[in-house]
Chain A
Amino acid sequence: MVPIISIILGLLVGALVMIFSGYNPVNGYIALWNGIFGDAYAIGETIRQISPYILAGLAVAFAFRTGLFNIGVEGQLMVGWFAAAYVGSAFTMPMYIHLPLSLLAAAAAGALWGLIPGLLKAKFRVHEVIVTIMMNYIALHVVNALIKTVSGGGFKTEKIQPTASLRSDFLSNLTDYSTLHYGIFIALSMVIVMWFILEKTKTGFELKSVGFNENASHYAGMNVNKNIVLSMIISGAFAGLGGAMEALGTFGNMTSRGGFTGIGFDGIAVALLGANTPLGVIFGASLFGSLKYGANNMPNAANIPLEIVSIVIALIIFFVASGYIIRVAILRMNKKKEAK
């Protein structure tokens, strides 16, 4: 009930913005709808867009559930992207080794990028927010430098070998030749992995306990520092896999970047929208992914400039995130009714 009201409110205020800027909101929203669900191709591309968001969201949510705020998903995702692109292009191997190895490389790179802030937090109590933010910049420039090195001075890595690709002719044909790839299944299986770790394993029990109450966990004999480091490693691995989606699925390589991809930062919102639960992350990522992709259709089909589109999308997400306000409003209204 509340999320639906949130989305409707977001759409309404977004419509106002379009009206005041002199555009037709009805056309705008039809374009948005068609951009997301309009045809098989749009649906395929939307799902493709959702996959990295799921993994970025899982990375943030996992750290959050264990009491850590991982702002470094962006950087972890970029190093994962590069690692997958490099391993995917530089070696020749049979697929059943090459693809898993490329994925593993992405996860390992992300995990390494998470390990550093984890260690600094565990050993010296340096706050992970500061370190992870800085690690994002380091990732950006290190990756650019590495791309230059491996490509012999160029600005993009070579295309990955078919043996490392997540591309799927079957999924592509199914969706009218979209770039939909197997990554969505990896993302969804990671949702199950996160749920399994947190809810079923001994490690998950410890991680949650440390996240809730470090003192009581220490008293109960848990190794608090080990758990902090472990949590950052797992979180970073999720993020690195998010990068692999782009490297092995969507783009097939990595190009030097002038700035961040934004997926990692959006992952924070995805996780919070999903209340940091595995299932919630799917919901958050679906909302983010479909709006992001579908919005591309608004400039073409409704002549609404990209800037206005960004504002409208931001408003919808804003209202969904403010679900609390709506809940309070509903409560107030019910009370008034009772009073009468």
Chain B
Amino acid sequence: MDYVIEMLNITKKFGNFYANDNITLQLEKGEIHALLGENGAGKSTLMNVLFGLYQPEDGEIRVNGTKVNVTNPNVANDLGIGMVHQHFMLVENLTVTENIILGNEPKKMGIVNIKDAAKDVEEISKLYGLNVDPYAKIEDISVGMQQRVEILKTLYRGANILIFDEPTASLTPQEIQELISIMKKLITEGKSIILITHKLQEIMDVSDRVTVIRKGKGIGTVVTAETNPEELATLMVGRQVTFKTEKGPSYPKEEVLHIENLVVTDNRGIEKVKGLNLSVRRGEIVGLAGIDGNGQTELIEAITGLRKSKSGSITINEIDVTGKKPREITKVGLGHIPQDRHKHGLVLEFSVGHNAALQEYYHEPYSKNGIMNYRSVSDYAQKIIKEYDVRTQGENELVRALSGGNQQKLIIGREVSRDPDFLIAALPTRGLDVGAIEFIHKRLIEQRDNGKAVFLISFELDEVMNVSDRIAVIHDGQIVDTVIPTETTEQELGLLMAGHTKSEALKAKKVGDDQNV
């Protein structure tokens, strides 16, 4: 078999830490090869070695059988390797075409030739069924579309080998389906793909083979058709993993969160939450299911005090917190795992220790009479690091250097350690691997069993179905219905989320039930 890319026995060290320890990955022509590993297992490091961003200490890279020396990303480009980054590298206020030619502009007598470039972009777009408008501005198109622009960018530069780094992390289920068909189309046109992911179902759906790495070591390569998600999970984590989160029945008690007729506007003054009513009780997890952009963000911001509500009331523990400041609300008993961990959850330039204390620094023992006690901050951070299995070199490491999963574990550790009566978990498992997801779900359920109220916001239906005791469905700024997970189906939820009525949904549920029988 011909390999388009071979990474043989790659070793990459940072100080004494082996990020990659003797890893081998061989990509066949025309295959989708998944690279599977937990957060921080070394996937990104390996790809950065391939892309010329890091130089390995040991091992060699071959392209089409010839040994190459990838000293920088330009070399990788020339070798036909293109990367579709997880965080898009696009200029928001430029058009699709302008973004694609950026840094490599075709010129006619010194003037950038946009027209021809746009034509090229359109042609490539058609060939691979990407359906991108070359003149659309990036800020006006959806996240899924933006990702296609990233794909186009690599293709425009002549890439034959495409690396997708966690491509589905920010996509809706529909967009994921479309992406999968685009990837298959790319293969039929003769491209080869490396897919970095920790989502097992995706691997089962699209890949031909899987290379698994764990804690920097290569565990092996398996043929997808000969394996199953359970085996992959075990290979990745190194132990058995449960998919269905185990939990006992819930015993809801008194109400902790009570929202009445809440109206919240977004930055442009448009109403996003329109007279919403909701309650969450002690001892239960209420899931909020809905399609992104139906008022979830504004709702959370209003509850947590980050945004003023226009009218209506919010009470926590029978205390009116409407219009209160974030710290006042926190003190009433709120914990909040924010949906954007980089924007709201962490100060990236701060150390792990500082971040651990971000909500608690202002009182004893962390500070006294205005003076910080950094020793007790360190102790507290070490406790969180240990209890929540945050993989870091220590509490003095900058949070920026941690992988996404470990950053998230730190936030969850910080919020749950405060033992709040009411915990908001907004997209708590976004971008995390199965091991971390399992861990986080367990913690949420543990909080519930300790008699706390948990409010889970998620775009992943199976997460909402698995973890919640009740599901509130939000559509267009209102709770359209509340359902019990065991008495509903994904089809019913999907229809409710799309704004259909209960009776329509019921019909669908019946069909679903019949199919299940």
Q: Write the residues of chain A forming the contact surface with B, with a CB cutoff of 8 angstroms.
A: 200-206, 208-209, 212-213, 215-223
Contact partner, B349, options A200, A206, A212, A222, Cβ 8 Å: A212
Contact partner, A205, options B325, B330, B348, B361, Cβ 8 Å: B361
Q: B338 and A219: CB pair below 8 A?
A: yes
Contact partner, A203, options B345, B348, B349, B370, Cβ 8 Å: B370
Query: What would be 14 A-B contacts, judged by CB atoms less than 8 Å apart?
Result: A201-B370, A202-B361, A205-B354, A205-B357, A205-B367, A213-B343, A213-B347, A213-B348, A216-B345, A216-B346, A219-B304, A221-B359, A221-B362, A223-B325
Q: A220 and B348: CB pair below 8 A?
A: no
For chain B, residues 310 to 341, give those with C-beta under 8 angstroms from any C-beta of chain A.
325-327, 330, 336, 338
**A200 with B350, Cβ < 8 A, contacts A219-B338, A220-B358 known:** no
Q: B372 and A220: CB pair below 8 A?
A: no
Q: A202 and B367: CB pair below 8 A?
A: yes
Distance between Cα atoms of A209 and B330 in the complex (Å): 18
The answer to whether B239 has its CB under 8 Å from any CB of chain A is no
Residues in chain A near residue B268, CB distance under 8 A: none
Residue of A nearest to B330 (CB): A221
Residues in chain A near residue B349, CB distance under 8 A: 212-213
Distance between Cα atoms of A136 and B371 in the complex (Å): 34
Q: B347 and A205: CB pair below 8 A?
A: no
Q: How far is the CB of A133 from chain B (nearest CB, A)?
A: 27
Residues in chain A near residue B350, CB distance under 8 A: 208-209, 212
Distance between Cα atoms of A274 and B354 in the complex (Å): 24
Q: B362 and A215: CB pair below 8 A?
A: no
Residues in chain A near residue B338, CB distance under 8 A: 219
Residues in chain A near residue B108, CB distance under 8 A: none
Interface SS majority for chain A: helix
Distance between Cα atoms of A220 and B306 in the complex (Å): 10
Q: How far is the CB of A211 from chain B (nearest CB, A)?
A: 9
Q: How far is the CB of B137 from chain A (nearest CB, A)?
A: 25
Residues in chain B near residue A218, CB distance under 8 A: 306, 326
Q: B306 and A219: CB pair below 8 A?
A: yes
Q: How far is the CB of A315 from chain B (nearest CB, A)?
A: 32
Q: A201 and B372: CB pair below 8 A?
A: yes
Candidate in B345, B358, B362, B370 with the most chain A CB atoms within 10 angstroms: B358
Contact partner, B347, options A201, A203, A212, A223, Cβ 8 Å: A212
Contact partner, B358, options A201, A216, A223, Cβ 8 Å: A216
Residues in chain B near residue A205, CB distance under 8 A: 354, 357, 361, 367, 372
Q: How far is the CB of A193 from chain B (nearest CB, A)?
A: 14
**A204 with B344, Cβ < 8 A, contacts A220-B326, A221-B327 known:** no
Q: A200 and B371: CB pair below 8 A?
A: yes
Q: A202 and B326: CB pair below 8 A?
A: no
Residue of A nearest to B358 (CB): A220
Q: A209 and B344: CB pair below 8 A?
A: no
Residues in chain A near residue B327, CB distance under 8 A: 221-222
Q: How far is the CB of A203 from chain B (nearest CB, A)?
A: 6
Distance between Cα atoms of A223 and B305 in the complex (Å): 12
Distance between Cα atoms of A209 and B399 in the complex (Å): 13
Residue of A nearest to B362 (CB): A202
Candidate in B330, B350, B357 with the most chain A CB atoms within 10 angstroms: B350
Distance between Cα atoms of A225 and B295 in the complex (Å): 27
Distance between Cα atoms of A217 and B346 in the complex (Å): 9
Known pairs A204-B372, A219-B306 / 7 extra A-B pairs, C-beta < 8 Å: A201-B372, A202-B367, A216-B346, A216-B347, A218-B306, A219-B304, A220-B359
Contact partner, B372, options A202, A219, A221, A223, Cβ 8 Å: A202
Q: How far is the CB of A89 from chain B (nearest CB, A)?
A: 36
Q: A202 and B345: CB pair below 8 A?
A: no
Closest 9 A/B residue pairs (Cβ): A221-B327, A219-B344, A202-B367, A212-B349, A220-B358, A221-B326, A213-B347, A212-B347, A215-B343
Q: How far is the CB of A257 from chain B (nearest CB, A)?
A: 39
Q: B336 and A219: CB pair below 8 A?
A: yes
Q: How far is the CB of B306 from chain A (nearest CB, A)?
A: 6
For chain B, residues 350 to 408, give those with C-beta under 8 angstroms from any C-beta of chain A.
350, 354, 357-359, 361-362, 367, 370-372
Candidate in A204, A206, A212, A219 with the most chain B CB atoms within 10 angstroms: A219
Residues in chain A near residue B347, CB distance under 8 A: 209, 212-213, 216-217
Residues in chain B near residue A216, CB distance under 8 A: 343-347, 358
For chain B, residues 19 to 50, give those with C-beta under 8 angstroms from any C-beta of chain A.
none
Residues in chain A near residue B348, CB distance under 8 A: 212-213
Distance between Cα atoms of A209 and B350 in the complex (Å): 8
Distance between Cα atoms of A216 and B326 in the complex (Å): 11
Residues in chain B near residue A215, CB distance under 8 A: 343-344
Q: B358 and A209: CB pair below 8 A?
A: yes
Residues in chain A near residue B362, CB distance under 8 A: 202, 221
Distance between Cα atoms of A208 and B361 in the complex (Å): 13
Distance between Cα atoms of A300 and B367 in the complex (Å): 57
Residues in chain A near residue B346, CB distance under 8 A: 213, 216
Residue of B nearest to A209 (CB): B347
Residues in chain B near residue A212, CB distance under 8 A: 347-350
Residues in chain A near residue B361, CB distance under 8 A: 202, 205-206
Distance between Cα atoms of A202 and B361 in the complex (Å): 7
Q: How far is the CB of A42 from chain B (nearest CB, A)?
A: 42
Q: How far is the CB of A272 from chain B (nearest CB, A)?
A: 18
Q: A202 and B370: CB pair below 8 A?
A: yes
Distance between Cα atoms of A222 and B357 in the complex (Å): 13
Residues in chain B near residue A204, CB distance under 8 A: 372
Residues in chain B near residue A201, CB distance under 8 A: 370-372
Q: A200 and B306: CB pair below 8 A?
A: no
Distance between Cα atoms of A219 and B357 in the complex (Å): 13
Distance between Cα atoms of A216 and B407 in the complex (Å): 14
**A221 with B370, Cβ < 8 A, contacts A209-B358, A213-B348 known:** no
Residue of A nearest to B344 (CB): A219
Residue of B nearest to A210 (CB): B347
Residue of A nearest to B346 (CB): A216
Distance between Cα atoms of A163 and B370 in the complex (Å): 34
- Residue-wise, chain B 231-257 has the 8 Å CB interface mask toward A (1 for contact) of 000000000000000000000000000
Candidate in A209, A218, A221 with the most chain B CB atoms within 10 angstroms: A221
Residue of B nearest to A222 (CB): B327
Distance between Cα atoms of A120 and B347 in the complex (Å): 25
Distance between Cα atoms of A201 and B350 in the complex (Å): 15
Residues in chain B near residue A209, CB distance under 8 A: 347, 350, 354, 358
Distance between Cα atoms of A218 and B359 in the complex (Å): 10
Candidate in B304, B325, B330, B347 with the most chain A CB atoms within 10 angstroms: B347
Contact partner, B326, options A200, A203, A206, A219, Cβ 8 Å: A219
Distance between Cα atoms of A200 and B325 in the complex (Å): 26
Q: B345 and A219: CB pair below 8 A?
A: yes
Distance between Cα atoms of A221 and B348 in the complex (Å): 17
